[in-house]
Structure formats: C-alpha cells, structure tokens
Structure 1
C-alpha cells in the first residue's frame, strides 16, 4: 500500500464529479429556504463515515439483506426523483423532522453519500490503492464542508431571482440524473435475471 499522487488526483476528480456538490447548491439553498437547518460539519462527518463504512463493508452488508448495488441505486434514484419534483414544482414532500434538520437526510444521504458515490468508491478499489482512495475521499469531504459553509454567500451574490432560476434548472438536471440512474440499474437487473428466466 503506497501513497501515489497521480492515483489521489485521479480518484479525487472522479469522486468530485460524482458527488457534484457545486451542482447541489440550488438544492441546498432550496432546503434552507424551507426552514431546514443544515449543519455543514455534521453533514460532512456523516457523509464521510457512511462512505468509509460502505467502502469496506458495503457489498457484504447489502448482501445480508439480499440487496444488490443495482437495487440500492434504484431506491436512491426514487429519492433523487422526489427531490427534483420539489425543486421544479415548488412543492414540499420531504418532512425533515430530524433534530439535525436536513444535515443527514437528504444532504449526507443520498446527496453526498448516495448510490452514485457508493458504486464509484467500490469500482475505484479495482484500480487504485486503498490509501489513495481514502485520501481522495477525505479531500472531497473537505470540499463538501467548505461548499456547505459558503451557500449563504452564494445566495447573497446571485440574489433571489438567481436562486429561483438555478433551482428550476438544476431540478431538471437532478430529474434527468434520477431517470438515468434508474434506467441504467434497471437494465443491469434485467441483464442479471434474464438468463434465469430463460432457464
């Protein structure tokens, strides 16, 4: 196990693109506008713990419940779908009655630690050393923390009109991501079960 700068950079870029915390800013602003409390430190810590635990015991843990990655991803796609509907149509579906507000759900899960990041960290294990993936993940969580801390400044910078436009635009993007996540993993499930059905 050896620290490799190139591996860290590569893994960081992949995880950064999948987590896409910058693209989630309109959703975070929307949650705050609805009165949800978001604790940046808490959300970052929970996200990190969930992802590290899943990195080491994710597949066996899901296996205990008879759930595979594709089924888990499909479940995550439905959560993203609901969040997209909230942003696009201005409706309130999620009830955030947790003492942590929206810090755990939906920020830590499934926004940061979701189906996409779960499958990504598992696939990275076949390419990079564990230590390099964990360093890249740590750096990404630091970025998540900094972005969550700065959303208020972003809101002041672009104003209410800018936030409204961003919410609608990224709501559609989130909807497209949810549909893609569903279709991709549904296709994987069909591929898995097709030989059994033929047999």
Structure 2
C-alpha cells in the first residue's frame, strides 16, 4: 500500500557546508517536493541548506512552512518569503509542530541540531509514537559513517535490525521519496523490555 505523503519535514543545517553539492541537492530536493505536490516543512531560516531547500520549493511554486523558535529568529535569519512562518518558544515545540504537520521526514547534511532532530523523530518511531517514513539523503556519502555506526549498534546487540531499517538511506532524491511512499513501519510492542536500549 502506497503511503499518502502530502507534507515532508526536512532537517538540515543553517550553514552551507564546504561542498557545493550540499546546497545544490538541498535546492533540488525543494524543487522535487514542489513538483510532486508535497508541502515542505522546515526550520524557517533563509540561510544555509535551510534557505536552499526553501528557495528550491518556492522556485516551483511549492508550499513552504517554516517553524522557528523565537530565540533563533535573528541567529538563523527567518525566511521572509515562505508561505507560512510559525514562531514557537522552544526546540521541542518546533519538533512537535514539525511532526504534527508532516507525513514523513528527510535529513540532509547538517550538524548537532540536524542529528538531534533526526534521532528524536526516529526514537519516537521506534517507540511506536508514529509510523511515518524517515529518510537520509546521503549526498556525496555524507552519512556513510553514520550508517556504519548504526550497523555496529545492530551487530553489538544494542539496536534491533527492524529498528535500524526504519531509517531509509539513498543518494538519489526520487528513489528516496519512492522508498518513503512504500515504507511499512515494523510492529512495535506495547512495552519495551528492560534489556532493550531505546
């Protein structure tokens, strides 16, 4: 059964990164989402990869919703040209709003903030709090070492393989979105045993 995905949250950095491909792929992701009729939800900034993904969607007349905490408005420079901008008080409120507005999530290259958003949303999935697809756009193999770390977690008995497989990984935008359309969440028990790591 194909997932009905009308809105995707994109987690990414507010910096450009050192490789031009990061900005290029962020812009292309925004374009692609708009062309597929998928609303973009993101962190609300006009700079870095955040700005690029928003500008890509806007260039194809896509709908773009930004969510930014009040204390980051000046630091991350809120985008003035998007469809909607929601101002929240905390980072947790930002993630909760992103979750509520989205049918899926994609992480682009980024730093601590991107990792924190990605891992919280996949932890919610592991706990059965949502069944939405989560993808890594592995631009220029940016996430190769993270994927190896996840595999090591599985190999050392700290992460179930079924939970590892919740994270969809691809270097191609269209293929990643197709993976998200066909994603089926694994069954999650009501309780987690005391021997399992969350």
Same fold (TM over 0.5): no
When normalised by structure 1's length, the TM-score is 0.23
Structure with higher helix content:
1
When normalised by structure 2's length, the TM-score is 0.23
Larger RCO (CA within 8 A; separation ≥ 6): 1
Structure with higher strand content:
2
Which has more radius of gyration? 1
